[in-house]
Each structure stands twice: as structure tokens, then as C-alpha cells.
Amino acid sequence: MTVSLQVMRAQQDGIFTDGCPSRVVLDHVTSKWGVLVLAALADGTLRWGELRREVDGISEKMLASTLKTFEADGLVQRTAYPEVPPRVDYRLTPRGRDLAEAMSPLMTWVAAHADAIVNG
């Protein structure tokens, strides 16, 4: 069953209105690289370099900014090891894993139907 804006608003007043918390979070998640970074981290811990390679095409700047946003949101946990050479890894928090699960149907759907949409 599909949930529409109207239905959600009947349950929760003012949800997804301009500037409200749900819009802020939605913007973070649906930011240009948001879903891809979350999906990359969905089944385990990754280092910075692995993440860069996994999320094909992302720039260092956007990876850093996306990770910072998610860290501030409590969706991603960063761990730095005091080694030389430096090693840092990223993984989803429980909340992040929960979100990734909620995103899963969308990703699966897109993967399954993208060719039909783009080609025709």
C-alpha cells in the first residue's frame, strides 16, 4: 500500500511542509549523493578510499560533506585509528541501518526499472 502526502498529513499535521524537520531530513537523504553513500554502507563498514571507489563518480568534497551531514544526523559513525598511515572507517548507526532498510525497496525498484524508463 502506498502512502501519499495527503494521507500522512491526515495522521501528522504539517508534515513535509516547507522548512519542517521532515523536509530537512528528506533533503539530506535525497541529496545528490545521499542514497548512494547510505546504500554503500548498508552491509558493512567501509574505509574512506573504499567508499570513494564504491560510490562511483563522487568527488572528495561531496563525499566529505555528505558524510559530515549524516554523522551530524546520527546516521553514520566515523572511527579514526591513530595509525600511520591513517585509517578511518565509516559505518551506519542503528538508526542509519533502519533508514537503509526503508530505502531498500526504492533502490531495488530503480535498479529493476531504470532500463525500461531510459530506453523506452
Binding residues for DNA (CB under 7 A): 31-33, 47-50, 57-62, 64-65, 68, 78, 80, 85-90
Nearer to DNA, 54 or 97 (CB): 54
- The angle at the Cα of 105, spanning 100 to 106, to the nearest 5 degrees, equals 90
Q: Which does 100 bind (CB under 5 to 8 A by kind): a copy of itself, DNA, none?
A: a copy of itself
Q: In angstroms, rounded to a whole number, what is the distance separating the alpha carbons of residues 67 and 72? A: 9
- Listed in order, strand segments (DSSP E) in 63-115 are 76-81, 87-92
Q: Are 75 and 90 a contacting pair, CB within 8 Å?
A: no
Asked if omega into 82 is within 30° of 0 (cis), the reply is: no
Q: How far is the CB of 72 from a copy of itself (least distance, A)?
A: 9
Q: How far is the CB of 65 from a copy of itself (least distance, A)?
A: 16
Q: Does 76 participate in binding a copy of itself (rule CB under 8 A)?
A: no
Q: Which does 45 bind (CB under 5 to 8 A by kind): DNA, a copy of itself, none?
A: none
Q: How far is the CB of 98 from DNA (least distance, A)?
A: 23
Residue of the chain from 64, 68, 94, 109 that contacts a copy of itself (CB under 8 A): 109
Q: Which stretch binds a copy of itself (CB under 8 A): 60-68, 70-78, 83-91?
A: 70-78
Distance of CA 96 to CAs 9, 15, 40, 48, Å? Answer: 25, 21, 12, 18
Q: In angstroms, rounded to a whole number, what is the distance separating the alpha carbons of residues 96 and 40? A: 12
